[in-house]
């Protein structure tokens, strides 16, 4: 369910107080969960910020921006600050921050253009302008971290929490 939060203003406020990308991702996840909270229900919110050095990356608004973003990431390592928060009645009951590290290979501009032509607007829904579950895997030479955290939801820690708290069958 969409939470209807103003992500840009939350990120801007986080940066203004010198919060790290991980802290900002946790705040975004918490606000998303709070935005759809239902009495007594466990509500899970997640968010991701791509961090390359000190630079934060957002979902690109269009394909030219996606191309520029992928050029900036090409041949370099970045981190996905992937946050997951579960709330019940306004209280945090689970908080997790995963930090997968991904290294893009030094692909050619011709490859980049072919990739964007094949993936099209689908890359605009991804903070890294790549879909690892699709052709985006071809962009990388090394990946460290849980696959589901790279996709935006650190499932193994979340499932462990749900099992430990008898919210799903063990």
Tell me the mean pLDDT in the region 5-31.
95
CA distances from 3 to 7, 58, 80, 120 (A): 10, 18, 21, 26
Please give the pLDDT value at position 98.
Answer: 98
DSSP state string for 9-72:
HHHHHHHHTT--HHHHHHHHHHHHHHHT--TT-EEEEEEEEEEETTEEE---SSHHHHHHHHHH
Tell me the mean pLDDT in the region 83-112.
97
Distance of alpha carbon 142 from alpha carbon 120, whole angstroms: 24
Tell me the mean pLDDT in the region 113-135.
95
Please give the pLDDT value at position 169.
Answer: 80
pLDDT digits (tens, 9 = 90+) for 42-82: 999 999 999 999 999 999 999 999 999 999 999 999 999 99
CATH of domain 7-164: 3.90.950.10
Tell me the mean pLDDT in the region 14-42.
94
Per-domain residue ranges of the chain: 7-164
Percent of the chain at pLDDT exceeding 70: 100
Mean pLDDT, the chain, rounded, equals: 95
Specify the pTM.
0.92
Please give the pLDDT value at position 168.
Answer: 84
Please give the pLDDT value at position 166.
Answer: 86
pLDDT digits (tens, 9 = 90+) for 134-156: 999 999 999 999 999 999 999 99
Active-site annotation, residues: 47
């Amino acid at each position: 369910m969409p939470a209807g939060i103003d992500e840009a203003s939350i990120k801007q406020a986080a940066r203004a107080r010198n919060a790290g990308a991980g802290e900002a991702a946790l705040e975004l996840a918490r606000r998303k969960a709070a935005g759809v909270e239902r009495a007594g229900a466990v509500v899970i919110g997640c968010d991701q910020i791509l961090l390359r050095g000190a630079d934060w990356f957002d979902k690109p608004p269009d394909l030219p921006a996606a191309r520029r973003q992928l050029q900036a990431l090409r041949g370099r390592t970045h981190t996905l600050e992937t946050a997951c928060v579960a709330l019940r009645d306004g209280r945090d009951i689970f908080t997790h921050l995963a930090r997968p590290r991904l290294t893009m290979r030094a692909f050619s501009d011709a490859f980049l253009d072919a990739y964007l032509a094949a993936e099209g607007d689908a890359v605009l829904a991804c903070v890294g302008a790549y879909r690892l579950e699709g052709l985006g895997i071809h962009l990388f030479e090394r990946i460290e971290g849980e696959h589901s955290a790279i996709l935006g939801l650190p499932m193994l820690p979340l499932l462990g929490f749900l099992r430990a708290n008898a919210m799903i069958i063990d």
